Chains A and B, each alone.
Chain A
Amino acid sequence: MDLRYTNEQTAFQQRVRSFLAEQWAPAENKRDSAFITRFRQLATDEGYLYRGVPRRYGGSEQAPDVIRAQIIREEFAAVRAPMEVPGNGVALVVPTLIEWGTEEQKDMFIKKTLTGEYRWAQGYSEPGSGSDLASVTSRAELVGDEWVINGHKIWTTLAQYATHMFALLRTEPDAPKHKGISYILLDMKAPGVTVRPITQINGDTEFCEVFLDDVRTPASMLVGPRGDGWNVSRSTLKHERNHIGSSTRTMPMFRSLVKLAQRRQINGRPAIEDPRIRSALIEIEGYLQSQLWAGYYQQTLAANNESPGVLGLVNKLTTTNFFHRVAQLSAEIIGDDALLAPKQGRDRGGDERWVNQMLGSLGQAISGGTSNIQRNIISERGLGLPRSGSEN
């Protein structure tokens, strides 16, 4: 156990700090998108962003280094500087194209995805294919030199703002279910694409339904081998798996919860002096500190190419359970404000904003593999228990 950085790592940390002090801290236009784009470019030139992406496609092409990645994340977070463009494009499409894409696809898409000019919708889930993703029925038929696509996608995050979609589509109707799917790219402005936002229980519209009616995309928009889309879709970032058991979302939320308990009153005293609230806060902090140090442990294991075993499978549920506990306690603290509907958009209102967290914590339990699917994965891959269900 040695939680200090080496001299080399400390020097690197200093370089990142100086960079941020010069390029980010003094800026007055931190919300200006042109400024942010320029800042990202400078940070990429320094080798701080897009480290796993080759330079010719707009990345900084750095050797994998988990500790450096962690230093960058911590230093950027400390001054709230923007990191890579958020969303599916950078997280999923770019690594998939680097591994499977043609030169044409890489040249066409990667750079503009890194700058945020292209935004991607993930066309995976369908009304009949949620957890059982390999059962997709939306299909693509090769007609001449174009794919003709028909089907219906759902839970498509931010599709109303997307410029492109990466979709899993059935191209080989007679093949077994995992074998007949292909990974295909299409333009959201193409005729036949209809987007309908879905209003969620908190009033937000983060998801959409996308109807695909005779949508055409060039044959060259197939990524990886035809019928191998299942494998292609499983490409993940091999370098510096950035968010292993990360507490980057949970730590700030806990700090806000403590501040809330210090500010709100229960029976005429600060809520944090109420024994039940104190005890519940520390109970939550027990889980938070566990997640934090389990995260550092997993970073070390990743840096040494060692497997985290079962620990590596529990991270999503750890976060989900944390959000749920925070939701319960915040409801205790804000009292009648929990009767109010949360506001949307920039105006976040008063403490009823915590109602958004209460509802959002449910979204965390469902999106990206429901909690019960996580439990299947832990028990089967982690604990070696027999598989359930008939089709697996």
Chain B
Amino acid sequence: MRFDLTDEQKSLRHMLAEFFGERFGGAQGVEAIAHTTLDAVLWSAVGELGLAGAMVPEEDGGLGLDLLTATVIAEVTGHYAVPAPVVPSILAAWLIATAGNDEQKGKWLPKLLGEGAQAAFALAEEGGWAPADWTLTGAHLSGAKLCVERADSADLFIVGGKDGSLAIVEAGSATVTPVDTLDRTRPLFTVTFEAAEADVLTTDGTVAGRLFDALCITAAADALGAACAIQARAIDYAKERKQYGQLIGSFQALKHQLADMSVELEPARPLAWYAAHAWDMGQDDAARMAALAKAHLTDISVKVARGAIEAHGGIGYTWEHPAHLFLKRAMADRSLLGSVNVHRERAAALAGW
């Protein structure tokens, strides 16, 4: 009985915190973090870390790690509001390795794992985000997918279709329209297909369910990372900012607000880990825990991020200060894949209530 990360997971977390902290963790301004187009230098450096293959089996050239590891990575990318689709790449490669045939694996895994190809998930439609809400059908897809992250630089789309089918569509056969996106670190696009050629990965809806749960769990961890980062910045600020001749961090009103943030955040991390572990073990409660974690962590993270901006005073409300990037990151994680109440209802229904 051991409820903790492995030493390998801890050292990976440490290594990634250094890697992204160096680039985005210090006094870098908003423009350094909020890239509206994918920074080729950053993407190439991320590619050299070999993260895309994190969940790909070793026999397919990956690292053979689990979703818990990806969840740890997601928390780090949220913590530094990393403006690159690190986690989507991991899950796209996992999906192709899990559900793809030899031809699909042979075609895409080397590109994703070694050549810097970028995948984007095209799932949401007007009716919602979950597999049950997907409507596109046929070998030639027509229709629109909403809220597709960094579609402008994607080489391939993973497209969700009717009954939870999943297909690969190459970037050239889709029209990509930018959306003026709240979260500047993860710009979104509308992607339109007109009789686009779809290379079907799977028609097994359980795979789509697994993918959706994995996206929910990593979004939860991403939000937690963003909230912890902005709380840490608020604490640092409270230790240097003086008013009325005293550090503002000595005022109980502010200390108690910052303490209450820890009461929200600290116990939430083990819930994200457990949800990932339940997914890894294929447990019966995996989908319910994914919904519960998505609702809970994104909800508290936005709450904490709001409080942390308030703790910064006026400077926190400026565009120039990076605080808002973390708030918006957490807000995006809250809305992506379905709102808090959508996931609470899912968790209630899965409990049989």
Contacts and interface: CB of A to CB of B under 8 A. Distances in A.
A286 B299 contact: yes
Nearest to A304: B4
B268 A300 contact: no
Contact of B2 (A291, A300, A372, A382): A300
Contacts of B6: 1
A317 interface: yes
A385 B344 contact: no
A297 interface: yes
Interface stretch (B91-99, B189-197, B255-263): B255-263
Interface of B: 1-6, 68, 235, 238-239, 247, 249-252, 255-256, 258-260, 262-263, 266-271, 273-274, 277, 280, 289, 292-293, 295-296, 299, 341, 344-345, 347-348, 353
Interface in A107-121: none
Contacts of B296: 283, 286-287, 289-290
A63 interface: no
Contact of B255 (A258, A289, A379): A379
Contacts of A258: 353
A232 B270 CA distance: 34
A25 B270 CA distance: 34
A310 B1 contact: no
Contacts of A382: 259, 262
A286 B267 CA distance: 10
A75 to B, nearest CB: 14
Contacts of A279: 341, 344-345, 348
Nearest to B4: A300
A324 B295 CA distance: 20
Interface of A: 1-6, 9, 67, 70, 245, 258, 262, 272-273, 275, 278-279, 281-283, 285-287, 289-291, 293-294, 296-297, 299-301, 304, 310-311, 313-314, 317-318, 321, 372, 374-376, 378-380, 382-388
Given A278-B348, A385-B235, A297 B3 contact: yes
Nearest to A383: B235
Contact of A290 (B2, B271, B345): B271
A296 B3 contact: yes
Contacts of A262: 353
Contacts of A245: 267
A285 B292 contact: yes
B110 to A, nearest CB: 31
A377 to B, nearest CB: 8
B273 A1 contact: yes
B3 A314 contact: no
Nearest to A313: B262
A125 B222 CA distance: 45
Nearest to B235: A383
Given A285-B292, A286-B292, A383 B259 contact: yes
Contacts of B249: 385-386
20 contacts: A1-B4, A1-B6, A1-B273, A2-B1, A3-B2, A3-B277, A262-B353, A278-B344, A279-B341, A281-B353, A289-B271, A291-B267, A293-B267, A293-B271, A297-B3, A311-B267, A321-B263, A375-B252, A379-B258, A385-B238
A3 B247 CA distance: 45
A299 B347 CA distance: 27
Nearest to B246: A386
Which of A279, A372, A376, A387 is most buried by chain B, counting CB atoms within 10 A of its CB? A279
Which of A317, A384, A386 is most buried by chain B, counting CB atoms within 10 A of its CB? A386
Contacts of A376: 252, 255-256, 259
A374 B263 CA distance: 10
Contacts of B348: 278-279, 281-282
A275 B1 CA distance: 37
A388 B1 contact: no
A161 B259 CA distance: 38
Contacts of B262: 310, 313-314, 378, 382-383
